[in-house]
Amino acid sequence: MRRRGIALVMLAVAYRAVLPIHANEIPQTERRSGFGFMAPDTQAMQSDDTVNPGTLWVLDGEALWNGKVGSADKACADCHTDARETMKGVAARYPAFDKARGRPVDLEQRINLCRTDHQQATPLPYESRDLLALTAFVARHSRGMPIEGGSDPRLEPFVAKGRELFMRRQGQLNLGCANCHDDNWDKRLAGSAITQAHPTGYPLYRLEWQSLGSLQRRLRACIAGIRAQAYDYGAPELVELELYLMSRARGMTIETPAVRP
């Protein structure tokens, strides 16, 4: 606790020294999903499953869920049976604490851990179509449910690390995530709305990507966008950032698979 106290003081000093004085986290009542920042046409693309491109990945994911893989010749369904019951609410509480590793893992990592530990199959590469499809399928079963990310007390130090990463200025543009997403949301940057950066709909279909993609992909693109060195896929820093963002969005509703510009 004392270490955390010191860390908070140092953070406060850093705030005053470097960030504008009103660098505050967004008040709970003012939180808005990225959905609300989009034009009606893009919102319509998300709201109807029959026209939402993300549905293609969810359907692929369902097929993978039922397919036997690995030297154990097991399907996800063999252990987890009907995803509509067993996967309900799962994505809403990820990243989750993994006891064996003593740190948080995100949903993609959890799926790969299941593959290696229980199916004796090779892990799926990050951003591969199969991993995205499985993640989308699992996360789809949390749609409509409130985010619970980061509520596990064991995750506290990792949430704090994620917050520090979110606040830290970095890169050639010397920007921290908070500069845009806490301080300047709802203004525009190069014609696009700056959102509050709540990961309510991942993995999501991004029009810019013309594909479904993960939160880590989005984070890496943002970090590269401020001209900083992006962490590798699966890096602990990215998981900590994911964890912080989900805890910052706690209570907001999951929209997976979302559509974003």
Partner 1 sequence: MHQPDDSTRRRFLGLAGGAAVFGTVPVGAFRPAGATPAMLTSAIRHIAGEATVRTGKVKLDIPPLVENGNTVPITVSVASPMTPDDHVTSIHVFNEKNPQPNVGNFHLGPHAGRAQISTRIRLADSQKIVAIARMSDGSFWSASADVVVTLAACTEEVI
Partner 2 sequence: MASALINVPARARRGDIIEIKTLMSHIMETGYRHTASGDVVPRDIVTSFTCRHNGTEIFRADLFPAIAANPFITFFTTATESGRFEFEWIGDRGFSQTASAPITVE
Residue 69 contacts partner 2 per CB under 8 A: no
Shortest reach from residue 129's CB to partner 2, in Å: 9
Residues 19-48 that bind partner 1 (CB under 8 A): 38-39, 41-42, 44-45
Query: What's the first-to-final CA gap in the chain, in angstroms?
Result: 42
Please state, in angstroms and rounded to a whole number, the distance separating the CA atoms of residues 98 and 101: 6
210 binds partner 1 (CB under 8 A): yes
The SS3 call for residue 74 is: strand
Q: Determine the Cα–Cα distance for residues 88 and 25; give it in Å rounded to an integer.
A: 30
The verdict on 231 binding partner 1 (CB under 8 A) reads yes
CA-to-CA dists, residue 35 to 195, 198, 201, 202, angstroms: 9, 10, 9, 12
Q: Which is nearer to partner 1, 152 or 237 (CB)?
A: 237
Supply the minimum distance, in Å, between the C-beta of residue 261 and partner 1.
4
Does 53 bind partner 2 (CB under 8 A)? Our answer is: yes
Q: Is 222 a catalytic residue?
A: yes
Q: From CA 132, how far away is CA 203, in angstroms rounded?
A: 7
Beta partners for residue 211, in sequence order:
206
- Contact between 261 and partner 1 by CB under 8 A: the answer reads yes
| Catalytic hit among 76, 79, 177, 222 | 222
Nearest approach, Cβ of 85 to partner 2 (angstroms)?
A: 22
Site stretch for partner 1 (CB under 8 A), options 12-20, 64-72, 202-210, 244-252: 202-210
Does residue 123 interact with partner 1 by CB under 8 A? yes
Cβ atoms 37, 255 nearer than 8 A: no
Binding flag, residue 62, partner 2 (CB under 8 A): yes
- Contact between 166 and 241 under an 8 Å Cβ cutoff? The reply is yes
Q: Which does 50 bind (CB under 5 to 8 A by kind): partner 1, partner 2, none?
A: partner 2
Strands 259-260 and 188-189: unpaired
Residue type, 140: R
Cα–Cα distances (Å) from 228 to 19, 23, 45, 147, 212, in that order, read: 18, 21, 32, 29, 24
Among 44, 59, 173, 189, binds partner 2 (CB under 8 A): 59
Active-site positions read 222
Residues that bind partner 1 (CB under 8 A): 38-39, 41-42, 44-45, 101, 105, 109, 112, 123, 125-128, 189-192, 194, 207-210, 220-222, 224-226, 229-237, 261
